[in-house]
Amino acid sequence: MKTRLSHVLLGVVLSVLLVSGMALSASAPYVNIVDTAKGSDQLKTFVATVEAAGLTDVLMKKGPFTVFAPTDEAFAKLPEGKLNRLLQPENKQKLVEILTYHVIPEVSLTVDNFRSGESYKTVNGLMLNVLFQQPPIVINKKINVVSSLACSNGIIYLVDTVILPPETPAKKKSK
């Protein structure tokens, strides 16, 4: 009788462990920024530009990073032919400048961080102003955050417009 009760209890314990194990495996852990972006139907163009710029490895690192990723619709708003030109190997540096203007390093910023309307230094060294008083979060007074995705190494905010870095006087003269 004692042995039979032990077997029944062992069976119940194993069943509970099996069910709870399945529940735990059903809740997938967060993945890095690149893999999260690859899993989004709205960020296919962003992923292609990150790959073309050679930034995949950087955005897979530990971070943390805050990334303002333009949606496919945002890239479609660029002037005709601009995206194709940026994807050409000879324009890789310009693409890197644009994409690194979308990344704030060493911090995973939340909505609460944006309430004061502060400016944040991006990977390319230029500042982005981010403000949240009421939805949506606004970048540089004109670009809206439309959604967000949590990642293991930061956060992705999907934006409705490609954020172009301001041109410096030196760049304007060289045109």
How many domains does one find in the chain? 1
To the nearest 5 percent, what fractions of the chain are helix, strand and coil?
A: 45, 20, 35
Residue 123: CATH number of its domain: 2.30.180.10
Which two tokens mark 111? 């909505």
Q: Render pLDDT for 62-111 as a digit per residue (tens, 0 to 9).
A: 889 999 999 999 999 999 999 999 999 999 999 999 999 999 999 888 88
Q: What is the pTM of this model?
A: 0.78
Q: Is residue 106 part of a domain?
A: yes
* Res 25 pLDDT > 70: no
Query: Per-residue pLDDT for 140 more than 70?
Result: yes
HSE (CB half, 13 Å, CA atoms) of 151? 31
pLDDT for 14 beyond 60 = no
Query: What value does the mean pLDDT of the chain take?
Result: 80
Residue 7 pLDDT exceeds 70: no
Which residues span the domain enclosing 119?
33-161
